[in-house]
Amino acid sequence: MHDYVNSVLESVAVRNHGQPEFYQAVQEVLLSLVPALKAHPHYARHGILERLVEPERQIMFRVTWEDDSGQVHVNRGCRIEYNSAIGPYKGGLRFHPGVNTSILRFLGFEQVFKNALTTLPMGGGKGGADFDPKDRSDREIMRFCQAFMSELFRHIGPDTDIPAGDIGVGAREIGYLFGQYKRLTNKFNGVITGKSVNWGGSLIRPEATGYGAVFFSHEMLKMRGEDLTGKVCAVSGSGNVAQYTTEKLLQLGAKVVTLSDSDGSIYDPEGINAEKLAWVMDLKNKRRGRIKEYADTFKAVYREGVRPWFVPCDCAFPSATENEINGQDAQELLRQGCKLVCEGANMPCTPEAIELFQQAGILYAPGKAANAGGVATSGLEMSQNSTRLSWTREDVEQRLHQIMINIHKNCYQTAEKYGCPGNYMVGANICSFLKVANSMLEQGLV
């Protein structure tokens, strides 16, 4: 089976030359599937891996828009409809200047497995544009979103492909995207998730990814007879995932000492309490300022151009972006006493970092399991939209909590069953692979 995996990896490398993030994501999954492929050799004959690595459809389009001064800009938009074996394509949209085919393919590929772990009926997809929202006015953001949706609308639908947010796409952008979809189609439906609660959104969706990651870390600690009380936590990022990871950590008695953005990171040894967090939310979601201002306001340490992995901590929650913990960062985290790494972001740890955490025997939760609470709650938003009902905050949070407990249990048990006890990466990859692969077999060659 090693030969099968290696031959598929080789063809992925040749066919997708110059797409390092995509190759990295595929390599991690495929290598960890070897015990499952050995136990079930028929997958190779059915070309399951070859089919899984190739998206079902990829749409690329021009996005032409005008800035406030009348200057015309052109960006590249894309939607990758990766795999629909277990449900309609589902996954976020990312607006960031670094967006390219490699990034969207890695995210779409990961999404297929993540969505399978939620146990809800959602296939995987991802999209976005190489648009930089920084320093753009609300009007410019609106015009960009409208231009983007003017092409995307013909490819999506509540039973076909359901986008949501990701980096650079939050409540404001979802509003503008939905408004344009409605104008073009004359339909008010659940085509997009992360909507405002005033018009079809779900309570707890904004909180869900961060809360879910913390619930997952709590389950891992429980297996070792511990909990989050008093744990010192390093969180990276200061956007949606970082904010609500911090909020739930505080609620469960942990102490959060770091946050970051793409300019640098802050270290507050006193801890970021609820009041300081409310200030960060205002800074990032309303004033759209830089995290450096936190250090000036609360007398914390600010380190320009540095990620927050240099501080003494028990737990790390990378919640900003891919490859933000490399081998060197991992060594530093271990030196600082870190015993748990829980990925709120998608693929924040490099393969070297993961290897070091596993060698050290610390708890490591891969993003496709740990951050699945966001898309799971998108699934709950879809259920509410289909029935035209909305559930209470308590109801949605309780369902999210139960989903995270189940994901943890399924990953844990699958890892044990396939001879890698305690390895959540192997557990998550094999558990989700089996569900998607079996569904593909049952639906024939389509």
Alpha-carbon distance of 225 to 233, in angstroms, equals 18
Annotated active-site residue in 126, 195, 284, 368? 126
Task: Select the binding partner of residue 241 from ligand 2IT, ligand NDP, none (C-beta < 5 to 8 A, by kind).
Answer: ligand NDP
Q: How far is CA 112 from CA 82, 120, 362, 380, in A?
A: 7, 12, 27, 17
- Answer for which of 166, 207, 247, 314 binds ligand 2IT (CB under 6 A) is 166
Cβ atoms within 10 Å of 154's Cβ, excluding its own = 12
- Quick one: 2 exposed, middle or buried, by C-beta within 10 A (0-12, 13-18, 19+)? exposed
The reply to whether 124 sits near ligand NDP by the rule CB under 6 A is no
Inter-axis angle of helices 240-251 and 274-282, nearest 10: 170
69 SS3 class? coil
Task: Select the binding partner of residue 265 from ligand 2IT, ligand NDP, none (C-beta < 5 to 8 A, by kind).
Answer: none
Say how far residue 210 (Cα) sits from the centre of its chain.
Answer: 10
The reply to whether 164 sits near ligand 2IT by the rule CB under 6 A is yes
Tell me if residue 126 is catalytic. Answer: yes
- Answer for which of 102, 346, 410, 414 binds ligand NDP (CB under 6 A) is 346
Alpha-carbon distance of 23 to 357, in angstroms, equals 21
Task: Select the binding partner of residue 423 from ligand 2IT, ligand NDP, none (C-beta < 5 to 8 A, by kind).
Answer: none
- With respect to ligand 2IT, which residue has the nearer C-beta, 356 or 365? 365
Alpha-carbon distance of 342 to 349, in angstroms, equals 10
- With respect to ligand 2IT, which residue has the nearer C-beta, 58 or 64? 58
Residue sitting closest to ligand 2IT (CB): 92
- With respect to ligand 2IT, which residue has the nearer C-beta, 213 or 221? 213
- Which segment (150-158, 183-191, 255-263, 274-282) binds ligand NDP by CB under 6 A? 255-263
Residue window 378-397: x/- pattern of binding to ligand 2IT, with contact defined by CB under 6 A:
x-------------------
- Which segment (38-46, 115-123, 257-265, 415-423) binds ligand NDP by CB under 6 A? 257-265
CB-based contacts of 417: which residues, under 8 Å, 6+ apart? none
Q: How far is CA 269 from CA 217, 234, 257, 416, in A?
A: 22, 10, 6, 38
Do β-strands 340-342 and 363-365 pair in parallel, antiparallel, or remain unpaired? Answer: parallel
4 SS3 class? helix
Q: How far is the CB of 173 from ligand NDP (least distance, A)?
A: 10
Residue sitting closest to ligand NDP (CB): 239
Q: How far is CA 36 from CA 3, 32, 412, 414, 429, in A?
A: 14, 8, 15, 10, 10
Alpha-carbon distance of 186 to 396, in angstroms, equals 29
Alpha helices in 283-390 (DSSP H): 292-298, 327-335, 351-360, 367-370, 372-387
- Which tokens belong to 84? 């629909």
The reply to whether 92 sits near ligand 2IT by the rule CB under 6 A is yes
- Answer for which of 91, 200, 212, 366 binds ligand 2IT (CB under 6 A) is 91
- Which segment (10-18, 78-86, 331-339, 372-380) binds ligand 2IT by CB under 6 A? 372-380
Q: How far is the CB of 69 from ligand 2IT (least distance, A)?
A: 32
Alpha-carbon distance of 250 to 271, in angstroms, equals 10
- Which segment (78-86, 183-191, 339-347, 407-415) binds ligand NDP by CB under 6 A? 339-347
Alpha-carbon distance of 102 to 219, in angstroms, equals 33
Q: How far is the CB of 374 from ligand 2IT (least distance, A)?
A: 4
Task: Select the binding partner of residue 193 from ligand NDP, ligand 2IT, none (C-beta < 5 to 8 A, by kind).
Answer: ligand 2IT
Task: Select the binding partner of residue 319 from ligand 2IT, ligand NDP, none (C-beta < 5 to 8 A, by kind).
Answer: ligand NDP
Residues that bind ligand NDP (CB under 6 A): 165-168, 170, 209, 237-242, 261-263, 319-321, 344-346, 371, 374
Residues that bind ligand 2IT (CB under 6 A): 90-92, 114, 164, 166, 193, 346, 374-375, 378
Residues marked active site are found at 126
